Structure 1
Amino acid sequence: MSEFDYIVVGAGSAGCVLANRLSACGRHSVLLLEAGGSDLSFWIWMPIGYGKTFYRRSVNWMYQTEPVVSLDGRTSYWPRGKVLGGSSSINAMVYIRGQPEDFEDWKAMGNPGWGWDDVLPYFKRSETNDRGRDDWRGDAGPVHVASMDRDLHPLCQEFLAAGDALQYPRNPDFNGATQEGLGFYQNTAKGGMRMSTARAYLRPARGRASLSVETRAHATRLLFEGTRATGIEYRQNGRLQTARARREVIVSAGAINSPQLLQLSGIGPGALLRDRGVEVRHDLPGVGRNLQDHLAIDFLYRSKVPTLNDQLYPWYGKLWQGLRYVLTRRGPLSLGVNQAGGFLKSRPELARPNMQVFFSPVSYTKAPPGKRPLMNPDPFPGFLMGTQPTRPTSRGHLEIRSSDPLEPVAIHPNYLDTDHDLQEMLEAARLTRRIAAAPALAKLIETEILPGRQVQSDEEMIADIRARAGTVFHPVATCRMGPNPACDVVDARLKVHGLQGLRVADASIFPTVTSGNTNAPAIMVGEKAADMVLADAS
C-alpha cells in the first residue's frame, strides 16, 4: 500500500487546482486519482471540438437522468468530463463567476468565509485576464481568460443592436463591476486553444516529486479507521489498488461522482444505503440531495443573411477553416459556440438579473443524446438564441442503484417542480422572442423554425418548454455546504460533518447554483479549499 499526505479524488475543475497548490511547497506528498485518461486530444484542445467530446465515451461519463415528468417524461443527457481536467476539458468554456449576491447568499446560509469579499481574491488569483488587472480581475493566475472580439461573427453586433433598441445596457465585462447587460463572452482559452485546469494547473506541476498522478484509476470506496478517512480503494487496469492518506482525503469528483463515492463508502441516507446493500458507516441524509441545475429554452431562426453555417457546413468550408485554425489558431474553430449574450431582468422591478442569454451565429439539429457528435451545422443560414433562468428553486436528488461502483447513479433532476421555475421559464421564452423582434434582428430573420410562430399563448409556450427545454450542464449542490448535518454534507471548511480527515471540494458543495456558468466558481472552490487544507496542516 502506497502512502501520501493527501489523496485528491478527481482531476477536474477543482481537483487539478488542489493537486497543484498542495504539492507546490514540496513538503507534502499528493496523490491525484482520475478515472479517465490523458487530455492530449485535438478535439479537447480545439475549442469548437467540444461538440465532439460531448458524445465521446473515452473522455465523458455520458450520464442520462431518469425520466422527468415535468418535461413530458423525457430523460436528460448530462455529459461530465472523464479525463484530466474533468468537465473543464469538455465544456463550452464560457468564463462566468456569478453575481456577488450569490456568494452573499452562501454566507447567509451559515457559511462564514464564503461571501463575495472572501471569494473574490481567489477568483482573481486563479486567472490571467487578457484585458488586464483591475479591482475585479486578475492578471497573474494559471487560467487564461480570452476575449473573442477579433474573430466574432458580424451577426453578434446585430444582436447587441437589438438589445440597444430595447434599452438593455451594454456590458464590456460580465465579471467586472456588474453582471447586468449584453455583450461578448470570454472563454477559458489561450492562443486559440482550450485552457482546462489540466493545462492551467496540472501540466506545470507534473514534474514535481511531491505529486503523483494516476489515470484510469476509478475510485470505488473510501477507507476508514473508525470515523477517520485513511485512504482510498480504486480499480486500475483490472486490479484493485489501495492508497493511504496520512493527513486527508479530498473528494473532488464532481456533482455526480462525489456523492456517489460517499454513498458507496457508507456515507449518506441510511435507509437508502441499507436498501442498496451498503453498510452504513455514517448516516448523513444530505448526500445526493439538494441537486440543482440550469434549464434553458432555445429558439432557432432561419436567417436571410449568411451565418457560420455557410462557412462550416460545406466540405470546402470545413477544410478551409480547419487549415486556418491549424496554421493561425484563428477563426470560428478557435471560439466557443456561444459568442454573445448576457444577463437581463425579465421584469424591471427585480433587484438583479434573473436571466442568462446566449447568442450563437450558428444553428444545428441535435442528434439524439449520446448517438453521434454535434459537428455539422444546418445546410441553410441560421442562428440560435437561448435563455436560462439563473436561480431555479426546484431541487432534485441522485442515488446509487446498488453497491456496484461501476453502475451509474440514478439522477432525478426534478426540473420545474415549483411554480416559480415554470413562470421564469415562460418569461425566458418571452424574453428571447422580445430580442428577436427588435429591428436589428427582425430584419435578418426569414422565419422562426422552433418553436414556430404558431406557438403564442402561455399554454402553448409552456407545452413547448416541456417538450424542448434542456439542461445547460450545470449540476451542483449534491454535497451541500452548510452548518446543519441533518441536511448539509460539509461545513464551511469543507469537512464532512461527523467525520475526520475527509473533505469535499468541487461544485457539489455549492449551497445554491450560481448565476451563470459554473466552471469558474468550481475553480475558485479548489483554490479556497487548498488554502484551508494548508492552513490546517501548519
Structure 2
Amino acid sequence: MFDLLHIGGGSAGSIIAGRLSDNLNDATILLIEAGGHGYDIFNIPFLGPLKQMSSIDWQYTTIPQKNSCFALENNVSKWPSGKILGGSTHLNYMIHLEGDVNDYKSWKDPHSNDWDENDINYYFTKSKKCFSNRQCKFKIDKGSVNVRNSIHSTKLSDAILDAAKELGYSLNDLNSKTSTGFMKPFLNINEMGMRWTSDQYLKGVMTKRKNVKILTHAIVEKILLLNNYEAYGVSVRTICGQSLTIHANLEIIVSAGTIGSPKLLMLSGIGPKNSLHESNISSKVDLPVGKNLKDHLTTGLDLVILDKHLFSYVDLMLPSSAYEFFARGKGPFTSGLVDVVGVVRSSLMGKFDGKNTSPDLEFMVMMAGVSSDQGVFMRKSMGISQKVWENYFKFFTNESVVSILPVLLHPKSVGEMNLNPNDPNGMPLIDPKYLSHENDVFTLVEGIRTIRKITKTKSLADFGVRFNDKKFPGCENWKFDSDEYWRCYVKHLTLTVYHPVGTCKMSEMGIDGVVDYNLRVHKTNKLRVIDASIMPTLPSSNPNAVVIMIAEKGSDMIIENHNNRFSSCSIRDMFITPKVCQIRRMSTTI
C-alpha cells in the first residue's frame, strides 16, 4: 500500500514524482515505469534522436493515412515516444520554447484564475533552472529543468538569422512577450554540456528523500475502480511476468503520455462507450478519451543545397569533437541538431476562420537532411519508403544539404486514437488524420515559399545556396514550383514533428473534456492525468517546456490537495456537490 501511485516516469512523470517527494513529507509514493533507467554516457546531446526506434522507444506508428504520408512506407508515420525513466527527454531535440500568450486563452478555467496567463507564466518560471539572465531574465537555481542558450552553432546559423532580418523578420527571445521572430534556440542542457532529462531531477531529489520508490520494467494493465467510480489501485505486470495488485491510499496519477494515458484509461473501462464495447471492455465511465488528437506537421527535407561543405555526421565522429565535448563541454556533440528556430504568422492566419491569433508557422533549421547519413538512420527513423529514397534523396548523398523545415503549428485536422479491437493490450490504432483539412496544406505550402525566399537573400550568397528543384516522386506531372506541385509534395512528404497532444483533453464535463481544470478525470475520484495528453490545443512551439509547466502545476495541485487532506469519496458522493465531497476527511483506507 502506498499513499500515491504514479504511472509513468517520463517527461512529466519524473518531475511530478520529484516535486511530490520533496513537498509531501509524510506521503509514500510509488512511481511505476514501463522502461528502465538510463545511463549518463548516453546523454550526449546530439545522440537523442539517434535513440529513436531503439529499445527505449515505444515505437508507435499511425494507421495508413488517406490524405498524406504517401512518401512513407505504407503511408504510415512513425511516432517515437520514450520508454525509459525520463521518457522523451532522452529522445527529443531539447528545444525549450514556451509558446505564444494567445495559445493558452482557451485553457483558462472559466470559474477561477487557474491556467490564466499569470498562472501559466508562474509555472514556466518555476520550472526553469537557468545559468544566466538571458534564459530567465534572472538567475534561477531551484527549477526542475535545465535551460541554457545553444552552445554550438555554425556560420550558416548566423547567416540565416541575417537572412530573416533581410526579409523583415525580427530577432527576438521567443520566450518573451514577443513570441515571433527568429533566434538560436534555448536548449535543455546542463552546465557540463550534457543533455538534461527529467529523471535527473527526480534522482537528485531521491538522494535526500526516501519517501519515493521506483518500480521499473513494469506495465500497468488496468486501473481498479470501486463502484465504477473511485480509483483505489492498479494491476501491474512485471518484466518477469509476475502479476501484482498495488493499492493507493490517497490518489492515482497517470502520466503515460499522449498515447499511453488514454490507452490505460480505456483498458480500465474509461472512454467512449461504443469504442470500448468493440474491444470487449466493459464501459465504466463514458468519456471522450482518445479524441482531440493533434500534432505538429512538417515537410521540406533536403530542399536547400550548398556549394560549400558545412557539416556532416562524419564531423561528429572526429576525435577533436569528442575531446572538445568531454574536456570542455562544448563543440558539435552539444548540438540539438536544430540550430535556428523561427516562429511567424503566415498571410493565411485567421483567413479561414478569423479566430486564431497565435503564430501558425515555425521554422526549424537543421544543418543536415535525410541524405546526410547516406540513408543509414534518418531515412529509416522517419519511414521514408525505399522507392522515394532511390528516386529522390539518394541523389543528394554527396551534396551538402540543409533542411529548413516549415512546421504547421495549429492544424485544422484533428485525429483520434483507439484500442485495437483484435488486441486491446497491443499497439493502439493511432489516426491523426493528417491533412484531412485542406487549409493545413495551404499553410505548409506558404512555409515552403518562405524557405525559397530565404535561399535568395544576399545574406546566404556566400554559401552558394540553391533551392532543390528535382521533382519529387509522385508529383512529376505538375509543373515545378506551381501551387499544385507543392500541394502534391506536402501530401507525399508529410512528417510528424513528434508533438502529439490532446487525447485526455482538459475541459468542462459535457463539452469534450476528459479531465477537469484540476486534472482530475471526470466522473471519477482519486484519479488524475498530468501530461501532454491534457492539452486542449497545441502550443505555438515545441511542447516540451509546456509539458514540464503542466507537471509543475499539476504537482502543486496535488500538494495543496493532500496538505489539506481533502478526502476520498464514495459512490454516494456522485450525488453531492463537489465542494462537499472534497472537504470530507478521510476515514477509511482501501
TM over 0.5: yes
Paired position in structure 1 for 2:476: none
Cα separation, 2, equivalents of 1:114 and 1:314? 45
Paired position in structure 1 for 2:114: 113
The alpha-carbon deviation at position 22 of structure 1 amounts to 1.1
Residue type of the alignment partner of 2:189: A
Question: Equivalent residues in 2 for 1:268-347 (5 A)?
Answer: 268-284=271-287, 286-300=288-302, 301-309=304-312, 312-313=313-314, 317-347=317-347
Residue type of the alignment partner of 2:483: D
The alpha-carbon deviation at position 414 of structure 1 amounts to 0.6
Q: 1:10 aligns with which of 8, 11, 16?
A: 8
Question: Equivalent residues in 2 for 1:196-275 (5 A)?
Answer: 196-205=197-206, 208-226=209-227, 227-236=229-238, 237-275=240-278
Aligned pair in 2 of structure 1 residues 134, 84: CA closer, same or farther (>3 Å)?
closer
| 2:547 paired with 1:522 | yes
The alpha-carbon deviation at position 110 of structure 1 amounts to 7.7
Paired position in structure 2 for 1:367: 379
The alpha-carbon deviation at position 176 of structure 1 amounts to 1.5
| 2:535 paired with 1:533 | no
Identity rate, percent: 30
**Higher mean C-alpha deviation, range 395-404 or range 90-99:** 395-404
Cα separation, 2, equivalents of 1:349 and 1:223? 45
The alpha-carbon deviation at position 443 of structure 1 amounts to 4.7
Cα separation, 2, equivalents of 1:217 and 1:403? 23
Paired position in structure 2 for 1:62: 59
The alpha-carbon deviation at position 393 of structure 1 amounts to 1.8
Cα separation, 2, equivalents of 1:79 and 1:450? 31
Paired position in structure 1 for 2:146: 144
Cα separation, 2, equivalents of 1:109 and 1:75? 39
The alpha-carbon deviation at position 459 of structure 1 amounts to 0.6
**Higher mean C-alpha deviation, range 389-398 or range 251-260:** 389-398
Cα separation, 2, equivalents of 1:501 and 1:13? 22
Cα separation, 1, equivalents of 2:187 and 2:126? 17
Give ranges in structure 2 of 5+ residues lacking alignment: 351-356, 372-377, 385-395, 473-478, 565-590
SS in structure 1 of the partner of residue 402 of structure 2: strand
Question: Equivalent residues in 2 for 1:74-113 (5 A)?
Answer: 74-107=75-108, 112-113=113-114
Deviation track 1:458-512 (CA, whole Å, cap 9, x = no partner) reads 1100000011120100000000000033521000000111000100000000000
The alpha-carbon deviation at position 133 of structure 1 amounts to 7.3
Contact 1:124–1:138 under 8 Å retained in 2: no
Cα separation, 2, equivalents of 1:243 and 1:233? 7
The alpha-carbon deviation at position 327 of structure 1 amounts to 2.7
SS in structure 2 of the partner of residue 51 of structure 1: helix
Aligned pair in 2 of structure 1 residues 380, 410: CA closer, same or farther (>3 Å)?
same
Aligned pair in 2 of structure 1 residues 345, 371: CA closer, same or farther (>3 Å)?
closer
Deviation track 1:264-293 (CA, whole Å, cap 9, x = no partner) reads 001001111111011111111x10000000
Aligned pair in 2 of structure 1 residues 125, 314: CA closer, same or farther (>3 Å)?
closer
| 2:463 paired with 1:444 | yes
Larger Rg: 2
| 2:417 paired with 1:414 | no
Paired position in structure 1 for 2:582: none
Paired position in structure 1 for 2:481: 456
Paired position in structure 1 for 2:536: 511
The alpha-carbon deviation at position 112 of structure 1 amounts to 5.0
Contact 2:409–2:539 under 8 Å retained in 1: yes
Paired position in structure 2 for 1:435: 454
SS in structure 1 of the partner of residue 533 of structure 2: helix
The alpha-carbon deviation at position 243 of structure 1 amounts to 1.1
Deviation track 1:227-262 (CA, whole Å, cap 9, x = no partner) reads 100011111121111211101101000000000000
The alpha-carbon deviation at position 302 of structure 1 amounts to 2.0
SS in structure 1 of the partner of residue 251 of structure 2: strand
The alpha-carbon deviation at position 445 of structure 1 amounts to 3.8
Cα separation, 2, equivalents of 1:33 and 1:520? 23
**Higher mean C-alpha deviation, range 131-140 or range 517-526:** 131-140
Aligned pair in 2 of structure 1 residues 21, 192: CA closer, same or farther (>3 Å)?
same
Paired position in structure 1 for 2:420: 401
The alpha-carbon deviation at position 521 of structure 1 amounts to 0.6
Residue type of the alignment partner of 1:175: N
The alpha-carbon deviation at position 428 of structure 1 amounts to 1.5
Give the structure-1-normalised TM-score.
0.92
Give the structure-2-normalised TM-score.
0.84
Paired position in structure 1 for 2:364: 358
Cα separation, 2, equivalents of 1:266 and 1:89? 31
Cα separation, 1, equivalents of 2:532 and 2:305? 37
Residue type of the alignment partner of 1:17: I
Paired position in structure 1 for 2:39: 40
Aligned pair in 2 of structure 1 residues 13, 137: CA closer, same or farther (>3 Å)?
farther
Cα separation, 2, equivalents of 1:110 and 1:88? 34
Cα separation, 1, equivalents of 2:552 and 2:203? 13
SS in structure 2 of the partner of residue 489 of structure 1: coil
Cα separation, 1, equivalents of 2:451 and 2:38? 36
Residue type of the alignment partner of 1:490: V
Deviation track 1:145-164 (CA, whole Å, cap 9, x = no partner) reads 1111x521111011011111
Aligned length: 525
Q: 2:526 aligns with which of 477, 488, 501?
A: 501
Aligned pair in 2 of structure 1 residues 176, 303: CA closer, same or farther (>3 Å)?
same
The alpha-carbon deviation at position 50 of structure 1 amounts to 1.4
The alpha-carbon deviation at position 378 of structure 1 amounts to 4.7
Q: 1:474 aligns with which of 481, 499, 510?
A: 499
Cα separation, 1, equivalents of 2:8 and 2:492? 35
Cα separation, 2, equivalents of 1:485 and 1:337? 43
Contact 2:96–2:545 under 8 Å retained in 1: yes
SS in structure 2 of the partner of residue 503 of structure 1: strand
Contact 1:111–1:482 under 8 Å retained in 2: no
Cα separation, 2, equivalents of 1:131 and 1:289? 41
Residue type of the alignment partner of 1:293: D
**Higher mean C-alpha deviation, range 199-208 or range 98-107:** 199-208
Cα separation, 2, equivalents of 1:134 and 1:436? 30
Deviation track 1:178-225 (CA, whole Å, cap 9, x = no partner) reads 111111101101121111111123443255221011110111110121
**Higher mean C-alpha deviation, range 177-186 or range 99-108:** 99-108
The alignment yields a C-alpha RMSD, in angstroms, of: 2.4
Residue type of the alignment partner of 2:340: A
SS in structure 2 of the partner of residue 357 of structure 1: strand
Q: 2:48 aligns with which of 47, 50, 65?
A: 50
Cα separation, 1, equivalents of 2:519 and 2:314? 47
Contact 2:96–2:542 under 8 Å retained in 1: yes
